[in-house]
Structure formats: structure tokens, C-alpha cells
């Protein structure tokens, strides 16, 4: 299926690895020029070169922290009149509800709620003026089914989801389509970090931790960044123009719910 977005320009945040990389690669395969971002320059340059070599699209890299105001200013300068925005950043650390301080909450809100909101506020007026835009926010399955040890994530991402629910309906008539993509367990560094937490908490090996978490997924395995990226590319495509403010779960069936 032709996604109809060849020649568009996308800002894909936090994209040197993992799910952000999967989204950048899938968009590039559709002929979309990219601004890619991560904090660490080396892996970012390598990721950009891999995508350039494979697809031939134009890729600009901005090594900066997307959760800071200065970082976002650099990214927005490079993004110019981007047609597509994919928001992403690292997830908050796990912990216990009684231990989190005000500062911990503010850091989670900054990274996983206020940063995507600020980027949407900066880029969507231009999209609306030009009559076309797509926004995909990478959130988490924890929005639909809370993961107790990830309370900071549950809280901040649900706030973002509330913002999107209303705003998506305000900009849709101008051709700007916002949706959220909710990963379940995917095979990325983040999953390895969470598996490591399980090994420490339960005194089991990495293989055991992975088998235990896979067993909780009806598909029986972790998701791949390629699958995630392909879904993102669809949400950014011409075909997604009537899909407004949805929360699309990609979790191998992990969230046990009828709707």
C-alpha cells in the first residue's frame, strides 16, 4: 500500500534506537525526509547513516535532550515546516508510589507530557495553515492498563492522553491528525532495562525474566521495532485522515480487555 507521504518532512524525537528508530526507518521507507534526534551523538549519526544508505532520503540529526527547552528550540529550528511529528523520549524509572517526590513527578511530566505538548503547540499551527499534518505520540500500554511500578509513567502519559483527546478534535478539520501509539513490551534497550529490574527483584536470570514476561503476552513474544514503525507510518499516512485522537495499542494482546 502506498502511504502517499513521499516528499513530506518528519521530526522523529528520540530516534537513534528502539521504537523511535523503527518509526524513523518506516517513514524513510515511504520517502519521508527526516530530522532525527537523541542525546548521544555517536549512535545517532550511525542510525541516520543506516537510514540514508537504505532509503536515500534526506536525514538531518540533532543531538540534544528533547525534554529541555533549549533542546526543543534546536530541534524545532531544524524541523522548520515539518509535516509529521513523532514525539518520544525515555520513560521514567520504576519505583514505589510512596517514594516519589514532587521533583520526580515534575521530571516525568516534563519528559512524557509537557515535552510532546510543547512540540505539538510549536508545529501544529503551521500544519493547520498548510491544511495537512500528522502527529503520533509514543506513549505506553500503561495508559490503558496501569503498570504499578511505573506509576510516574502511568501518571504523566495519562495527562498527555487527556490533552490529545480534546486537541485532536479541535485540529482535525484543518487536516491535522493526532493519534497516540501505545507500545506493549517490545524488544528494545528499554525492555532489557526492565528485564534487568525483574532479575534483581526476583533473583532470576535474564532468560527467565524474558520467558516470564513473554508468557504474559498472548502473542508469546516481544514486539519488534519494525512492526511498531510500520504502524506509525500508517498513522502518518494519507489513509489515516479519518482516524482522530485514537489510542492504538500494539501489545501482542497483553492488555486483557474487550475494547
Site residues for ligand NAP per CB under 6 A: 14-20, 37-40, 43, 65-67, 88-91, 138, 140-141, 183, 185-186, 188-191
174 vs 247 by CB, closer to ligand NAP: 247
CA distance 231 to 222: 16
Contact between 93 and 193 (Cβ < 8 Å): no
Give the cell for residue 42. Answer: 555517536
- If you count DSSP H runs as helices and E runs as strands, how many of each does the chain have, helices first? 9, 7
Q: Which phi and psi (to 5°) does residue 100 adopt?
A: -75, 135
Is 18 or 245 the residue whose CB approaches ligand NAP more closely? 18
| Nearer of residues 38 and 123 to ligand NAP, judged by Cβ | 38
- Please provide residue 90's backbone torsions phi and psi, each rounded to the nearest 5 degrees: -60, 155
Helix (H, G, I), strand (E, B), or coil: what is residue 138? strand
CB of 82: closest distance to ligand NAP in angstroms? 16
Residue 142 beta carbon to ligand NAP: minimum distance, rounded to whole angstroms: 7
* Smallest distance, ligand NAP to C-beta of residue 58, A: 20
* Least distance from ligand NAP to the Cβ atom of residue 97, Å: 18
Nearest C-alpha neighbor of 15 from the set 197, 236, 188: 188
> What is the closest distance, in whole angstroms, from the C-beta atom of residue 39 to ligand NAP in the complex?
3
Q: Report helix angle 69-79 to 115-130, nearest 10.
A: 20
Question: 81 phi and psi, to 5 degrees?
Answer: -95, 65
Which residue, 17 or 134, is less far from ligand NAP as judged by CB? 17
Q: In this structure, how many other beta carbons lie within 10 angstroms of the beta carbon of residue 60?
A: 16
> Which lies closer to ligand NAP via its Cβ, residue 154 or residue 171?
154
**Grid coordinates standing for 122?**
510549536
Q: How far is the CB of 75 from ligand NAP (least distance, A)?
A: 9
Query: Among residues 50 and 190, whose Cβ is nearest to ligand NAP?
Result: 190
Amino acid at each position: 500500500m502506498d502511504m502517499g507521504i513521499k516528499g513530506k518532512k518528519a521530526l522523529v524525537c528520540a530516534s537513534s534506537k528502539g521504537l523511535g528508530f523503527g518509526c524513523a526507518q518506516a517513514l524513510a521507507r515511504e520517502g519521508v525526509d527526516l530530522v532525527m534526534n537523541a542525546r548521544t551523538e555517536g549512535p545517532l549519526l550511525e542510525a541516520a547513516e543506516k537510514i540514508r544508505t537504505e532509503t536515500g532520503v534526506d536525514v538531518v540529526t540533532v543531538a540534544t535532550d528533547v525534554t529541555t527547552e533549549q533542546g526543543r528550540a534546536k530541534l524545532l529550528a531544524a524541523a522548520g515546516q515539518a509535516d509529521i511529528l513523532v514525539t518520544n523520549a525515555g520513560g521514567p524509572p520504576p519505583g514505589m508510589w510512596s517514594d516519589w517526590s514532587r521533583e520526580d513527578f515534575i521530571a516525568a511530566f516534563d519528559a512524557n507530557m509537557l515535552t510532546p505538548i510543547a512540540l505539538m503547540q510549536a508545529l501544529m499551527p503551521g500544519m493547520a495553515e498548510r491544511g495537512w499534518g500528522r502527529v503520533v505520540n509514543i506513549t505506553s500500554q500503561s495508559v490503558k492498563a496501569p503498570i504499578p511500578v511505573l506509576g510516574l509513567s502511568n501518571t504523566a502519559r495519562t495527562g498527555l492522553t487527556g490533552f490529545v483527546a480534546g486537541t485532536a478534535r479541535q485540529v482535525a478539520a484543518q487536516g491535522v491528525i493526532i493519534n497516540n501509539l501505545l507500545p506493549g513490551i517490545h524488544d528494545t534497550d528499554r525492555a532489557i532495562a526492565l528485564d534487568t529490574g525483574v532479575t534483581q527483584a526476583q533473583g532470576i536470570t535474564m532468560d527467565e525474566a524474558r520467558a516470564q514476561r513473554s508468557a504474559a503476552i498472548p502473542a508469546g513474544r516481544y514486539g519488534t521495532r519494525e512492526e511498531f514503525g510500520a504502524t506509525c507510518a500508517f498513522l502518518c499516512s494519507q489513509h489515516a485522515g479519518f482516524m482522530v485522537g485514537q489510542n492504538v495499542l500494539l501489545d501482542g494482546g497483553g492488555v486483557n480487555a474487550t475494547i
